[in-house]
Structure 1
Amino acid sequence: MHICFDGKILKSGEPVLSADDKSYRYGDGLFETIKMVKGQMPLFDLHMNRLFSSMQLLEFSPPALFTPEKLKTDIISVCNKNNCTDLARIRLSVSRGNGGIYEYDRDRIHCLIESWPGNPSYNQLNENGLVVGVFPHARKSMDLFSRLKSANYLPYTMAARFAKQQQWNDCLLLNTDGAIADASIANLFLVDGDEIITPAIGQGGVEGVMRRYLIDKMRESGFAVEERAVFVNDAAGAEEMFLTNAMNGIRWVGRFENKILKNNKTRSLYHQFIETLWS
């Protein structure tokens, strides 16, 4: 397998990050998980919009040649090298560079691109509903940085471990107000009659690209989508629940805590907006 580090294709086993990399030391970095299907990246523009707006918020100083076009070229190169252009999971990681926490004059971003063959299940709606619960040991903040897909992923890592210990498929994380932020690797949607509800940006969840794509498509098609604070009681009372991310699109939840959920509307949304995205 190969990687691309700062524009150079290298063998994946070669060391590339130094001990004073700011992403390693302080979590001072960002990442994107991108899906490639048949040599195309359907949500690439949304990924780049999020990445570059996040870099601006964090006051990163990218070089002039660090552009979406160059990143696309590097991604395609490493996917070709790894023979996974038909279906790939791509991780693009950006760090502020090397140095101490106050060494701003040494800022020089590093970019690491990794790719792996994708699981065929990425292109299918899950047959069995997910089992989901609530992670009790962390509360996400609701500040300017909470929506970023940052290298500081500790609450989500611990939530994923907790879910595995409970024999669940995923966990919902709460914010400091006790409302739902998101899940460990996905955004949350609820179906309540004709209304589709999702935690608003600003409620502590990561601003997912699939979330953005799906909301826009649903509203264009006349669906009522409400973005607001969502509490555990809302989830417990919902008719359906599904999770979204860039790799799977939509995954339906079959059981939340002790409640069994349907998937009628979720299945319809998948076929209307997600299945066509991958074809």
Structure 2
Amino acid sequence: MQLCYNGKLMAGDRPLLTVDNRSFRYGDGCFETMKVYQGQLLLADLHFERLLMSMHILHFHIPPHFTKEYFTGLILELCRVNGVSDLARVRLTVWRAGTGLYDPVDHTPEFIIQCWELPERIFELNETGLTLDIFPDAVKTGDKLSTIKSNNCLPYVLAALYAREHQWSEALLLNQYGRVADTTVANIFAVKNGRLYTPPLSEGCVCGVMRKYLLSRELPFPVHEQPLTVRDLESADELFLTNAIFGIRWVGQFGDTSYGNAAAAILHDLLQESML
């Protein structure tokens, strides 16, 4: 498989980064995980809106050619070369060039684009509900950095390890107030009395692309951004998770509480119709 390094196609097994790389040293950068389907980059506008917002927050000096059209062209060409244009997962990783200690000496962005084939079942709603519980060893702090898909992912790494050790599908991270933030790879929605609820960005969750897409759509259920407690999740009629790769996945059990998937199934079908 080939990858794209700063706009050039290269062999995927070629060494490219040095030990002074700032992403390696400090997690100094951000990334986007995207989906290509039948030669089209899905939700491209939202992905590149978030990418540019993240780079501004991190004080990169963004080159004029870093546009949606530029990156979309590179992504689709890479998928074509690797023979995965029908259905692929794409990761665009950006980091700050140069060396220095914590104080950077260069604010120029560098990037790598990678792609992998996805199975067709990615479009299917999960038959068995996910199991979810709380990761107790880290919190998400609601600040400007919490919305970014950061190259510094230690809370999510440890939460994913914790979930595997406990044989859960996913782990829930709470914020500094003990309220709901997000999970290791997804935003969370609760369904209660025919209404959808999801934490606002101020609660510490990543600014998820699928989350933002759902908030912008006319849905058969009213959607509200509001802080959610653990008790709110336990008393909900349904829970589901969202991200750009899986779309919607429903939660079958959170702690000792079990859930159905009626609303999640409706939204899943509407999502497929609107995007594909």
Give the TM bin, normalised by the shorter chain: over 0.9
Within a 5 Å distance, the mapping from 1:1-279 to structure 2 comes to 1-101=1-101, 104-217=104-217, 220-221=218-219, 223-272=221-270, 274-279=271-276
Q: Deviations over 1:160-189 (max 9, x none)?
A: 111111111001100000001000000000
Q: 1:86 to 1:237 in 2, by over 3 A?
A: same
Give yes or no for contact 1:42–1:277 (8 Å, CA) kept in 2: no
For 1:264 and 1:46, how far apart are their aligned partners in 2? 27
| Matches of 1:133 and 1:26, distance apart in 2 | 29
- Name the CA distance, whole Å, in 2 between partners of 1:107 and 1:244: 32
TM-score, L = length of structure 2:
0.97
| TM superposition score normalised by structure 1 | 0.96
Match of 2:146, SS state, is coil
How much does 1:53 deviate? 1.0
Residue 226 of structure 1 aligns to a residue whose secondary structure is strand
For the residues of structure 1 that align with 2:220 and 2:265, how far apart are their CA atoms? Answer: 17
Percent identity over paired residues: 41
Shift of 1:121: 2.1
Distance in 2 (CA, whole Å) between partners of 1:164 and 1:103 is 36
User: What runs of 5+ residues in structure 1 fail to find an aligned partner?
Assistant: none
Q: What root-mean-square deviation, in Å, do the aligned CA atoms of Structure 1 and Structure 2 show?
A: 1.2
Question: Which aligned runs of 4 or more in structure 1 are off by greater than 4 angstroms?
Answer: none
**What CA deviation, in whole Å up to 9, does each residue of 1:208-238 have, x standing for no partner?**
0000001111xx2463211111111111111
Q: Secondary structure at the match of 1:101?
A: coil
Deviations 1:132-166 (A, max 9, x none): 11111111111111111110111011111111111
